[in-house]
A and B are shown apart, each in its own frame.
Chain A
Amino acid sequence: MGNISYEFPVEKDDFERAGEASSKIKKILRQLGMDSGIIRRVAIGAYEAEMNLVIHSLGGTIRIDIDPKSIIITAEDKGPGIHDINLAMKEGYSTATEKIREMGFGAGMGLPNMKRCSDIFEIQSIVGKGTKIVMKMNLKDGD
């Protein structure tokens, strides 16, 4: 299999289309005939990253890069950035508004879920500039 890359734009506050990028990513992996375990991990990671772009960011992109050894999901946004990454990574920590929480978001589980689904998880954030998250899932024989 050669290398494959796709990038999807994700708009701020676009709850109508929220989840579409991750659904498309999942469909790509299914078409490639990948193992259901790895598909699930990628789907969860991509979904949580996508929802954070919709809810907490000013908009950005989700990218998938597939090579024979790994799948990399990259979420990048144009702000507002995260003040305290350690705090944001804590299970249960959320700055979601009451309105967002009523929709079932804001459990403070998104970033921990992303980390759990990845073999390598990296997050960089600059306040006023944006946040970049990279999730790498290693492929084993049979994936």
Chain B
Amino acid sequence: MTVGQICEKLRLKSLTGDVGMDREVKGAYVCDLLSWVMAHAHEGDAWITIQTHTNIVAVATLIELSCIIIPENAEIEDDTIKKAIEEGIPILTSEQNAFMICKNLISIGLGS
């Protein structure tokens, strides 16, 4: 499944235009503690987090996460979006909470 397909099916809004829409999403990971994510998330995971500062882009780039999904329309700093575009990491937002985003990801076949 690609980031673009997930965007469409879950009606997520991309803040980074069409950057990285063809990246493959292999799984998903939910956590707001950055070192925990560094240790446990897998390459290709969609990362659901409420953190919105620029360092999330560094984390996603370093361990090659497929995209970052920000729940509940949390506000995202402009610098973060700028950096994400530079690094080719899609940042998507949803009005739903992390639990509902996961539920929907599972229902469209992710993680099975």
Contacts and interface: CB of A to CB of B under 8 A. Distances in A.
Chain B contact residues, majority secondary structure: helix
B57 to A, nearest CB: 8
B43 A113 contact: no
Contacts of A15: 53-55
A59 to B, nearest CB: 17
Interface residues of B, number: 23
Given A15-B53, A18-B55, A103-B55, A113 B62 contact: no
A40 B56 CA distance: 16
Classify chain A: how many residues form its interface, as a range.
20 to 34
Contact of B62 (A16, A44, A106, A110): A44
Contact of B79 (A16, A19, A107): A16
A83 B37 CA distance: 27
Contact of A104 (B39, B51, B57, B62): B51
A77 interface: no
Interface stretch (B28-36, B66-74, B97-105): B28-36
Interface of A: 15-16, 18-20, 22-23, 26, 36, 40, 43-44, 47-48, 51, 103-110, 112-113, 116
